């Protein structure tokens, strides 16, 4: 939420203007559909789509793995056939994150974008060391702190899939 910690991608309002992240709605309440994934995929500009990745929870990945193409009956998820090669969805790599919400109505279940272009993590200060010789005599304690921040720097490189209510 950005209060005393880095601001996450899910804390931004919906919109196409700078300072907001566009949210693509799903067609089915509380569920991910193949059509909504297609809409999410093609909503991103081509310059960012070439390096884009999907980010979702384990529950969302399970739901997506069960989706089939209506015409051929094949699963749209393509598992990796070689070691070290990632699984792909619509030709883009998929990453799993426990911090992404599950399949809950009105949640932002899937993120898609070029995260290297969209989000930046930065060090705000160098490491500070505090020496404490008083708390645990005769021992001396040292406390080390480092401030780190993070925020979206390019709102065009990221899209979110919002499950409808």
* pLDDT (mean) for 61-67: 88
pLDDT tens for each residue of 39-55: 999 999 999 999 999 99
Provide the greatest CA pair distance for the chain. Answer: 75
| Alpha-carbon distances of 120 from 1, 9, 148, 151, rounded to whole Å | 15, 11, 11, 6
Give pTM, 2 decimals: 0.77
Considering only CA atoms, which of 57, 9, 68 is closest in space to residue 34?
68
pLDDT tens for each residue of 66-94: 888 778 877 878 777 777 888 888 888 88
User: Residue 10 and residue 4: Cα distance in Å, rounded?
Assistant: 16
């Amino acid at each position: 939420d950005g209060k005393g910690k880095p601001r996450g991608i899910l804390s931004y309002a919906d919109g196409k203007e700078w300072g907001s992240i566009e949210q693509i709605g799903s067609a089915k309440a509380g569920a991910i559909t193949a059509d909504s994934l297609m809409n999410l995929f093609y909503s991103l500009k081509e310059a960012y789509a070439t390096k884009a990745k999907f980010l979702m929870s384990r529950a969302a990945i399970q739901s997506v793995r069960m989706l089939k193409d209506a015409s051929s009956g094949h699963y749209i998820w393509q598992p990796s056939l070689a070691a070290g090669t990632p699984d792909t969805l619509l030709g883009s790599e998929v990453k799993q994150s426990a911090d992404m919400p599950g399949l809950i109505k009105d949640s932002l279940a899937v993120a898609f974008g070029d995260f290297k272009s969209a989000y930046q993590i930065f060090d705000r200060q160098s490491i500070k060391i505090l020496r404490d010789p008083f708390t645990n005599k005769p021992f001396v304690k040292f406390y080390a702190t480092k401030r780190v921040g993070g925020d979206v720097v390019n709102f065009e490189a990221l899209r979110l899939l919002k499950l409808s209510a």
